[in-house]
Amino acid sequence: VAITFIDHAGTARQVEAEPGSTLMRAARDNGIPGVVAECGGMAACATCHVFVEAACLPFTGDMGEDEDALLDFADDRAPNSRLSCQIAITPELDGMTVTTPEHQG
Ligand code: FES
């Protein structure tokens, strides 16, 4: 599953993510800057915040209450904000682009 991360400066990095993993894992495994994931994927730190390409949002699963509450602490929350540790990698996400926030990491 090919995912492209674009950092705040506009640099794009494409990674290969394993189905069954999470978007946060894929970022960490590939050394993507801007995804810190301090809590290790427990929906408790908000340092894995990303902006998801609008067209792909319907395929990223529902946002949980914890995630919703935590995103209020994330920098620059937007309608397409998600915690990347709460997004499961599925084949439908192939070709998705996500952007990392300016102040993270
Ligand atoms: Fe901490 Fe996602 S890794 S909330």
Percentage of the chain exceeding pLDDT 90: 93
Residue 27 near residue 47, CB atoms below 8 Å: no
Buried b (16+ CB within 10 A) or exposed e, 30-53: eebebbbbebebebebbbbbbbbb
- Angle CA(91)–CA(8)–CA(28) in degrees, nearest 5? 50
Q: Could you tell me the distance, in angstroms and rounded to a whole number, from the CA of residue 90 to the centre of ligand 1?
A: 19
What is the model's pTM? 0.95
pLDDT one-digit tens code per residue, 33-55: 999 999 999 999 999 999 999 99
**Ligand 1 neighbours (beta carbon < 6 A):** 24, 37-39, 41-48, 83, 85
pLDDT at 105: 66
Instruction: Tell me whether residue 88 is in a domain.
Output: yes
Q: What is the dihedral of CA 100, 83, 28, 90, to 10 degrees?
A: -110
Q: What are phi and psi of 57, to 5 degrees?
A: -55, -40
| Within a domain: 105 | no
Per the structure, how many domains does the chain have?
A: 1
Residue 104 lies in a domain: no
Residue closest via CA to ligand 1's atom 4 equals 43
**CA 92 – ligand 1 centroid, Å:** 22
Q: How far is the CA of 55 from the centre of ligand 1 (A)?
A: 23
Q: Which domain holds residue 42?
A: 2-99
CATH for 91? 3.10.20.30
Using one digit for the tens of pLDDT, what is the confidence trace for 15-36?
999 999 999 999 999 999 999 9
